[in-house]
Amino acid sequence: MSITNPSLRTRIYFSMVIMILVSMVVTGIFTIFHFKAKNDVYHQNRLSRQEERVIATIQYFLDDSEIQEDLDTYIKDFADKILEIADVNNLDINIFNTHGEILMSSHMDLADPNFFLQIINDSIFYELEKSGHVVVEKGVEEDKYLSTYSYIKNEEGKRICIINVPYSRNRSANKREVSEFLSSLLIVYAVLLIVVILLAYLLSNYITKSLRVIKEKFKSVGINKKNEQIFWKGSDEIGSLVTEYNHMITQLEASANMLAKSERESAWREMAKQVAHEIKNPLTPMKLSVQHLQRSFDPSDDNFEEKIRIFSDKMIRQIDTLSSIATEFSNFAKMPRSKISKIDLIKVLKEALGLFNEIEEIKMEFVNNTSGNELMMAGDDEQLTRVFNNLIKNGIQSIPDDREGEIVVVIEEKQDTIEVEVKDNGIGIGEEKKEKIFVPNFTTKSAGSGLGLAMVKSIVENHSGHVWFESNPPNGTSFFVSLPRQIDE
């Protein structure tokens, strides 16, 4: 998995977290705006309640007083009542006449010559004349406040004055309320985010757990092994996938059995063809020799005994060839279980080389790159002798008649293994033959069964080792055998 190509579990996990984060941000923004709107509505309602209470108190006072006409002058009793009402309700109250000129105020200063110059703004006065009640927002950003204007009427419903109630919302208090609300909201969101991340991790693991099980099963599927089916209780999409997998496993097992059967039958057919071919080779000259003897049979011939001797020699050679072929096929077919014991591999190699020392045209050389004259390991003495006999014999047979032959056997120790190299200076192995060199019945020679190197590979692998070769046509080939010191029996 990489950053640019994350796993399904990671994509599900981050998708869930991002969706929750986006929803939390949207909810937070909506909540903040909603809180501010509610706050504004609260203050407007509060101002309306205070205004209604003040007007009701003033109306009650006017009902008990003799003031029933349009106010145009300052009246002390009325001014004292306004101050009392303002003090009780902790408000500022301004009283204007019906023309919009200031008459009195809860915070008036009679010594101020400019006090009585205050009038209601024309736009406000126009709106008030039209609707009878006006709420306006005054001031700059940090000092904004609400201000209401309403008419006060006498018992007959005639307008006698205008009351103005300024209402400061206390911006610092509002900010503190919003700040406290946001702090609480952030704490709640932080806790929710931690819970959501944990739940998203657990859910993504739960969702993809079954997929990981299926993936591991897919990875372990093989043709030459017993593949286990998956048991799934549900009938969901994953259940459908599991059903298809189990069906595929069943089909794969049936196909593997058919393939194995076909391969066995094919192998036996090829083996039978090869055996028949190898047997026919010596039978043909035997048949010709017998036919020739029949035509020339004459006991009175002076050379009769010589002819019988020549005939007998030919027959014996061909019979020996047949026996050799039978033995080689029998050995390959049997391939008995390795009898593992402690053996000296250097001794095995020297004995194998010694079998071919009588060939005068071939120079035999043994190179010991180990630390001593003995190299003990676990192996089957007889089978390993057959391995190196075959490799040396193949090397000798690959050397053309017009070349001075040379076979070099090199042994050396690796970390946990022993490596043997059998090198010849023959014609080498062509590229088109390299892939088939260890295939049974394949041979690079004009005669032979093609089982030697297949047998070598089988014995070496039975010893938990491996065999390979390097060839440089036409300058020779090196076969390498790597064997562990210890064999897993």
Q: What is the CATH number of the domain that holds 85?
A: 3.30.450.20
358 and 423 share one domain:
yes
Per the domain annotation, does 224 fall within a domain? no
Pair (96, 125) in one structural domain = yes
Q: Tens digit of pLDDT for each residue in 298-310?
A: 777 777 777 777 7
- Grade residue 442 by pLDDT with cuts at 50, 70 and 90: very low
Strands 466-471 and 477-484: antiparallel
Identify the pLDDT of residue 451. Answer: 64
pLDDT digits (tens, 9 = 90+) for 2-52: 566 676 667 777 787 788 788 878 887 887 787 777 877 777 787 788 888
447 pLDDT higher than 50: no
Q: At what angle do helices 171-220 and 8-64 cross, to 10 degrees?
A: 160
Asked whether residue 302 is assigned to any structural domain, the reply reads yes
88 lies in the same domain as 18: yes
Our count of domains for the chain comes to: 3
In a domain, 439, yes or no: yes
- Do 156 and 253 have their domain in common? no
Asked if 249 and 229 touch (Cβ cutoff 8 Å), the reply is yes
Residue 374 sits in the same domain as residue 453:
yes
Higher pLDDT: 363 or 357? It is: 363
How far apart are the C-alpha atoms of 4 and 7, rounded to whole Å? Answer: 10
What residues are paired with 104 via a beta bridge? 95
Each residue's pLDDT tens digit, 197-236: 888 888 777 777 777 777 777 777 766 667 777 776 766 6
Q: Residue 386 sits in a domain of what CATH number?
A: 3.30.565.10
Q: In what order do the strands lie in the sheet with 477-484?
A: 362-368, 405-413, 417-424, 477-484, 466-471
Which of 315, 334, 353 is where one domain is finished?
334
pLDDT of residue 247: 79
Asked if 253 and 112 sit in the same domain, the reply is no
Q: Does residue 322 sit in the same domain as residue 397?
A: no
What share of the chain has pLDDT > 70, as a percent? 81
In 3-state terms, what secondary structure has residue 174?
helix
Residue 209 placed within a domain: no
281, 301, 334 - which closes a domain? 334
In a domain? residue 182: no
Residues 76 and 171 in one domain: yes
Side-chain-facing half-sphere of 220: CA atoms under 13 Å? 12
- Do 346 and 381 lie in a common domain? yes
- pLDDT confidence tier of residue 446, bands split at 50, 70 and 90: very low
Report if residue 228 sits inside a domain: no
Summarize pLDDT for 50-65 with one digit per residue, the tens: 888 888 888 788 777 7
Q: Which range of residues forms the domain containing residue 441?
A: 341-484
Together in a domain, 369 and 467: yes
**110-164 confidence digits (pLDDT tens):** 667 777 788 888 888 888 888 888 888 876 655 667 888 998 887 777 888 898 9
Domain boundary among 311, 334, 357: 334
| Co-location of 293 and 360 in the same domain | no
Q: Are residues 34 and 128 in the same domain?
A: yes
**Does any domain span residue 129?**
yes
Length, in residues, of the chain: 489
- Tokens at 63, concatenated: 């009902």
Instruction: Note whether residue 448 is domain-resident.
Output: yes
